[in-house]
Structure 1
Amino acid sequence: MRAPRELVDLPYASHLEAHAGGGLERDEDYDVVHFRGREFDEPDAGNARFTESAFTAVKLSGGVLRRARFNDVWLHAVQFIGTDLVETRWLDAEVVNSALAGTAVFGAELNRVAFFGCKLVSVNLRDARLREVAFVDSVLRDVDFGGAELTGVTFPGSTLEDTRFDGARLKKVDFRDAAALGIATGHDCLGGATIGLAQALDLAPAFARALGVTVKDR
């Protein structure tokens, strides 16, 4: 897995223009814009489109970005706190040293997205579609993948705690390099995933319960 890029490494870095100020607007197009050191309280930016843009040290508290689009964006030290990201679309995005807490992302589409050193806590990804997504050296705590479709998703160096996969559909998902694989529910929906031998031994009791197998010594 490659290392995260710096701002200067972005192919559009020299074209970025500082955000002029004010809040985020609904249905607005933000092309080659750099949002830096901003705090947005309860933003209303549904259906906004962010293209070849960068976010540095930005905090979004609450608010609605439902159905917004993030195409070829770079986010560093960004916080989404209780933000509505329902049905958002992410393509070729890189999220670095950022945090999502109490965030609704259900029904979203994430394609070729990489999370580096991020923290996701109580994030709702139910019914989302993730393709070629990498969670690298990140923490996923109480993240709900229920009913989601995961294809080509990897978790190198990441810690999963109380994650849920009820009704999820997995294809070419690789958990082998995860630092910890804490799955609360949905063990019967892990078909299509690859795990290591040590992980299989740790999960064996949960797999047995999911199959209705009773395991006990004489």
Structure 2
Amino acid sequence: MANHNENILIGETVEKISADGELCGVYEECRFVSCDFSGANFSGITFRDCVFETCDLSNANFSGVALQDVVFKESRLLGIDFTVCRPILIEFSFERSILSYTRFSGMNLKNTRFTECVIVGADFTDAKLERADFSKTKLEDSLFDGADLKKSDFREASGYKINPWVSQIRGAKFSYPEVLSMLEPFGIEIS
């Protein structure tokens, strides 16, 4: 992808490229397959109706990025701070991806899908995650303090530690035995 002042790419499939330097522009209805965007600078880019499949976006800079109806499938997104994205019309989903050490704190992520992902050490503090789907996701060491998790789906998810004293969980769906982890703040013993 070339570095132009107003690069617009519509309906293209981009395969097996790596991002060297700064990228800019608008990408609509594009599909990125097996691309190495690790460490890339996406500052100010707009991705609209795009799909990233088997891509590595680890440690990329998402400052001012617009993500509108973007799907990440089987991709690596390590160390991404999504809180610096443009919040207007933000909509994305993650399927079978690795999102370790990512930051979503305070974001409005209602109805966001994080299905069959590995999410280690992520920060969801104070995020609005009503009706989010975390089904079959591994959530070790991820923070949910103050998060709105009403009606979210954690069925078959594992490793989560949600404190029901500080997070809203009314109507959320959980599986046994993982749901027992929410009793930890009460300091009780279960046999």
Structure-1-length-normalised TM-score? 0.67
- Aligned pair count? 174
Query: 2:5 maps to which residue?
Result: none
On the 8 A contact 1:73/1:94 being kept in 2, the answer is yes
Query: 1:192 maps to which residue?
Result: none
Amino acid corresponding to residue 59 of structure 2 in structure 1 = G
Shift in alpha-carbon separation, 1:182–1:104, aligned structure 2, 3 A: farther
Task: Out of 98-107 and 40-49, give the one that drifted further.
Answer: 40-49
How many Å separate the matches in 2 of 1:49 and 1:130?
A: 23
- Secondary structure (helix, strand or coil) at the match of 1:19 reads strand
Let me know the Cα RMSD of the aligned residues: 2.9
Query: 1:19 maps to which residue?
Result: 14
How many Å separate the matches in 1 of 2:44 and 2:166?
A: 27
Query: 1:193 maps to which residue?
Result: none
User: How far is the alpha carbon of 1:152 from its aligned partner?
Assistant: 2.4
Amino acid corresponding to residue 80 of structure 1 in structure 2 = L
Shift in alpha-carbon separation, 1:131–1:166, aligned structure 2, 3 A: closer
How many Å separate the matches in 2 of 1:53 and 1:179?
A: 37
**Which of residues 159, 168, 171 is equivalent to 1:170?**
168
Q: Does residue 1:40 correspond to 2:37, yes or no?
A: yes
How many Å separate the matches in 1 of 2:73 and 2:108?
A: 20
Query: 1:76 maps to which residue?
Result: 73
Shift in alpha-carbon separation, 1:176–1:114, aligned structure 2, 3 A: same
Amino acid corresponding to residue 56 of structure 1 in structure 2 = E
How many Å separate the matches in 1 of 2:72 and 2:99?
A: 12
User: How far is the alpha carbon of 1:71 from its aligned partner?
Assistant: 2.2
User: How far is the alpha carbon of 1:167 from its aligned partner?
Assistant: 7.2
Which sections of structure 2, spanning at least 5 residues, go unmatched?
1-9
- After superposition, where does 1:103-182 map in structure 2 within 5 Å? 103-161=102-160, 163-165=161-163, 168-170=166-168, 172-177=170-175, 180-181=178-179
On the 8 A contact 1:67/1:85 being kept in 2, the answer is no
How many Å separate the matches in 1 of 2:67 and 2:176?
A: 27
**Higher strand proportion:** 1
